Structure 1
Amino acid sequence: MKDNDITVLSTVSPFGPVEGNMPYAGIATFAGYPLWSSEQKADAVVLGVPYDEGTTYRPGTRFGPRAVRNASMFYTYEGQDDRFYDADRDRWILRGKTIADAGDVAIEPLNLEKNQAATTRAVATILQSGAVPAIIGGDHSITHPVVRAFKQKPFHYVHFDTHADCDRIFGSGDTHGSPVARIMEEGLAQSITILGVRGLTNSGHDLAWAREQGVRIITARELRERRVAADPDLFSDIFPKGNYYLSLDIDFFDPSAAPGTGTPEPGGLFFPEFSDVVQAVTKKGTIIGFDVVEVSPLVDDRSQITAHLAARCLLEMMSGALDQAGTAPPAC
């Protein structure tokens, strides 16, 4: 990685630390975690990719990393050694884990190849340090250069999205509607599973082509029906053993939960369904990287509910990556 691939700002105030860990004070890193340099050891490192030139409808996801970081400061009431308690599962998560924020990839407008190369190098640097990359987009086109950094690691790719993203829009293969096709064409993943497909904006030809290539597609309706069945192993047949990269397009969720995205589609899922799938993955494999993309604060509601949901989803996937299933410290 080159020194100018990532833009980092100091979070240290010349006036000293703010007592009480109030979420509205200080400079926002992800969940208030310290800044990272490549010489430091960490279990997970957050990296922003503020790029949205692959957008084909409403722009604004270049502001996603900043919005998600701001929202994540909500989780800083408690000190870093006394969070996070998962009330749903009666356990602590991410205890004893070292988490840091690497800032953002330095994006140069209208320079696609340079931006993609910088993104791949930045993620590769995190991997070389031994940390799990936690990526904040940006539009979904960033996932392709991110995943390129994993090419030496065999992995299964899981794509949470209302769209299959197997399209060439106006002949371009580098839009937010194309990452699955690019990953497939370059043979980067052992398998590809798309979860949450729905609505009227998918191409029937693209879906048929993806299935012909061996991509497993689980629609939003099927995910919902599986969860209603209340089977503790309801997703166990989807995931083989191995390493996993998870990519979450925030439009996987229903617009009532995630209005702040460029291409919303009615009939989406909610956080419990997403969490169930992440937990199912951890029972079968190891999460080695993940991203949240397509958060556009320009079209979010006044409470920034979409950014808050994205921050929570990052923590869910981070716990899935770092807290081995069933072994996280119990509540005390």
Structure 2
Amino acid sequence: MPTVPSSPYSDPRGSLPSVGITTFAGYPFYRADMTPDLVVVGIPYDEGATGKPGARFGPRAVREASMLYTYEGMEDRFYDADRDRWILTGKRIVDAGDVDIQPLSREDNWRAIQSVTADVLARGAVPALIGGDRSVTHAALRAFRDRKVHYVQLASHVDCDFPDRDDHTHGNTVAHILKEDLARSVTVVGVRGLSQNGRGVAWARERGVRIVTASAMRLHGPDAWVEELQDGPVYVGLDIHFFDPAAAPGAGTPEPGGFFFHEFSDIVEALAVRHAIVGFDVVEVNPFLDDRGAVTSQLAARCLLELAHGALRDRAAAGPSGS
């Protein structure tokens, strides 16, 4: 005789992807009495986009795609088959929903983003932000001002298009981070293509930004530039166009010659071994351009879990083979 559940309402963790209220990977919705290790926050803002809008719907799409990771038996951890290890075992991860974005109110929205990020930090947790366009990183990093993090941006663009202007677009984010002195250092990894301002790139280099091109990253791997980072905490900003359009078609500004997940995973591993990852974001997912079954949203969800492991890592539990 089948077992009758004690309640007809299912906890999404450990259930089928189609079951339960959609939160990130089925993790519980955040309550004030919780003491989480990591808090997922959606930032549905894309008024900084200069191309096709739609990244404001990124948080919803990424959460929906993340429900794939709620299979039975995965209640409090995930098995990483590629590295034969368990990750996020027993980690207290929660979903706080979205920042309440108001149309055409950039300063109000950015204050809200900064405030929510600061609140997560004040509770001793890691903020894991889902954009939204790249400009939201500027607002989030204001919450880290006193911590002086190293900012590592994984992206095809340097985002210093017009450093002499006050444009608060996704193409000028690094310029504003530098102007406000929000980071101890800035490193941009994966730079390639023709769709950026060469003068802005030169301006960034003059101010100490380390630019690792896609070809250099492939030639030398992540250790070469990670080892050059001085001691200190790291904030990682992942732009989905870091990846090749074949892997991430749902990017607002795609650039050929990009990367794939295994290369991203190697970067996170190299960073996490040497530095504390104290915050991160995954941005620029545009579900309206994701025309092959939400593969970009799925990739973004997987990347967020990988970054969460990097931020919360301790000695990994052994996999089934005992390694």
Question: TM-score range, shorter-chain basis?
Answer: over 0.9
TM-score by length of 1: 0.90
CA distance in 1: counterparts of 2:313 and 2:256, whole angstroms: 33
Which residue type is aligned with residue 17 of structure 1? S
Asked if the contact 1:38/1:125 (under 8 Å) is kept, the reply is no
Q: Which residue of 2 is the match for residue 9 of structure 1?
A: none
Q: 1:267 aligns with which of 235, 251, 257?
A: 257
Is structure 2 residue 143 aligned with structure 1 residue 149? Answer: yes
Match runs of 1:218-257 below 5 Å: 218-227=212-221, 233-257=223-247
Is structure 2 residue 40 aligned with structure 1 residue 52? Answer: no
Asked if the contact 1:39/1:129 (under 8 Å) is kept, the reply is no
CA distance in 2: counterparts of 1:34 and 1:210, whole angstroms: 41
Q: Offset of 1:37 from its aligned partner?
A: 2.6
CA distance in 1: counterparts of 2:166 and 2:243, whole angstroms: 26
Q: Which residue of 1 is the match for residue 287 of structure 2?
A: 297
Q: Which residue of 2 is the match for residue 182 of structure 1?
A: 176
Q: Which residue of 2 is the match for residue 75 of structure 1?
A: 69
| Cα deviation 1:97-143 (Å, max 9, x = unaligned) | 10000000000000111100011101111111111000000000100
Q: Which residue of 2 is the match for residue 315 of structure 1?
A: 305
| Cα deviation 1:248-305 (Å, max 9, x = unaligned) | 0000000000000111111111111111111111121100000000000001023100
Where structure 2 has 5 or more consecutive residues not aligned to the other structure, the ranges are 1-6
Aligned sequence identity (%): 55
Asked if the contact 1:235/1:277 (under 8 Å) is kept, the reply is no
Q: Which residue of 1 is the match for residue 9 of structure 2?
A: 16
Q: Offset of 1:167 from its aligned partner?
A: 2.1
TM-score by length of 2: 0.93
Is structure 2 residue 323 aligned with structure 1 residue 329? Answer: no
Is structure 2 residue 103 aligned with structure 1 residue 109? Answer: yes
Greater CA drift, 105-114 or 238-247: 238-247
Asked if the contact 2:76/2:91 (under 8 Å) is kept, the reply is no
| Cα deviation 1:301-327 (Å, max 9, x = unaligned) | 231000000000001110000013xx1
Q: Offset of 1:236 from its aligned partner?
A: 4.2
SS of 1:152's partner is helix
Asked if the contact 1:71/1:308 (under 8 Å) is kept, the reply is yes
Where structure 1 has 5 or more consecutive residues not aligned to the other structure, the ranges are 1-13
In structure 2, do the counterparts of structure 1 residues 179 and 153 end up closer, same or farther at CA, with 3 Å as the change threshold?
Answer: same
Asked if the contact 1:169/1:177 (under 8 Å) is kept, the reply is no
Q: 1:131 aligns with which of 121, 125, 130?
A: 125
SS of 1:52's partner is coil
CA distance in 2: counterparts of 1:133 and 1:99, whole angstroms: 10
Runs of 4+ off more than 6 Å: none
In structure 2, do the counterparts of structure 1 residues 233 and 152 end up closer, same or farther at CA, with 3 Å as the change threshold?
Answer: closer
In structure 2, do the counterparts of structure 1 residues 198 and 86 end up closer, same or farther at CA, with 3 Å as the change threshold?
Answer: same
* CA RMSD between the two structures: 1.8
